[in-house]
Amino acid sequence: MPILHGFSYSNYYNMPKHALLYKGVSFEEDLVYPSAEGYNKLSPALKVPSLTTDDGHHLSEASVLCEYIEDVYPEKPLFPTNPVERNKVRQLMHMAELYIELPNRRLLSYSFSNQPAPEKLVNEVKGVIDRGINSINALATFDPWILGNDFTMADIYLYYVLTVADMGASMTEVDLNKKIPGLAEWRAALAADPVSQRVAADTEANREGFFGYIKSLS
Ligand SMILES: N[C@@H](CCC(=O)N[C@@H](CS)C(=O)NCC(=O)O)C(=O)O
């Protein structure tokens, strides 16, 4: 049985977790924070999530785990078979990560400590998010899923990226729901899914543990 390492408050952890749950794969969860002794053996970059495969190999980086899960558990596919469509899914995942997740992530420490972020930083972040908005508007149909009829890994990826975008939004004042037509309805539909609800409940259950971990670092 594969073991998913990390903690539920991590939006990156929740991406492969949602994929495993969606596909009905049995897996173990190992609650671990990146500063744990020996974690570098699971993730050389000391990032959550990481995964130990059935045969004992350690993999890390959320998008890589998502691809691995698809390769090893092809039932209930989350990537199309057509190469162009398959790459559109990957394109959307990359764009969501590079232009929505990562800029907003630069504001997380300010959000966690309730401190205002420097204006220069907020402006830099907003510039990158604009690219993300244009990219998603160019590719997504939200009809009903991001790329059309089939629910894909891009749906899972963007859904959890938005968790961090929500935290950044208090500082950037960028309302993605207004800037990306269809996003709010799509997000509500996905939030109602039992897998999303299970992941959300686990995230909430880890809130105290996660903030205790953050406190222990300072
Ligand atoms: N590129 C990594 C990023 C994952 C990431 O940033 N995870 C956070 C938790 S949400 C983490 O481990 N942070 C610890 C740190 O940066 O030291 C991935 O795709 O898995």
- Residue where a domain terminates, one of 39, 55, 77: 77
CATH number of domain containing 24: 3.40.30.10
Cα of 40 from ligand 1 centre, angstroms: 13
Kindly state the tokens that stand for 209: 């543990």
**H/E segment holding residue 167:** helix 153-172
Answer positive or negative: Cα dihedral of 204, 207, 209, 214: positive
Beta-carbon contacts of 201 under 8 Å, excluding residues fewer than 6 positions away, are none
First to last CA, the chain: 36
Q: Ligand 1, from 9, 12, 61, 161: best to mutate by most atoms within 8 Å of Cβ?
A: 12
pTM of the model as a whole: 0.97
Q: Is 190 within a domain?
A: no
CATH number of domain containing 126: 1.20.1050.10
Q: How far apart are CA 79 and CA 190, in angstroms?
A: 17
Q: Tell me, what's the pLDDT at 218?
A: 80
Q: Is 30 within a domain?
A: yes
Name the DSSP letter for residue 148: B
Q: Is 164 within a domain?
A: yes
Furthest-apart CA atoms within the chain: distance in Å: 49
Identify the domain containing residue 140 by its residue range.
83-181
Q: Tell me, what's the pLDDT at 46?
A: 98
Q: How far apart are CA 139 and CA 54, in angstroms?
A: 36
Number of domains in the chain: 2
**Which atom of ligand 1 is closest in space to residue 61's alpha carbon?**
20
52 and 100 together in one domain = no
Q: Ligand 1, from 47, 98, 101: best to mutate by most atoms within 8 Å of Cβ?
A: 47
User: Which residue from 207, 163, 183, 205 is spatially nearest to 62, judged by alpha carbons?
Assistant: 163
Are 77 and 70 spatial neighbours (Cβ–Cβ below 8 Å)? yes
- Residue where a domain terminates, one of 44, 77, 110: 77
Q: Mean pLDDT, 10 residues at a time, over the chain (218 residues)?
A: 98 98 98 97 98 98 98 98 98 98 97 94 98 98 98 98 97 98 98 98 98 91
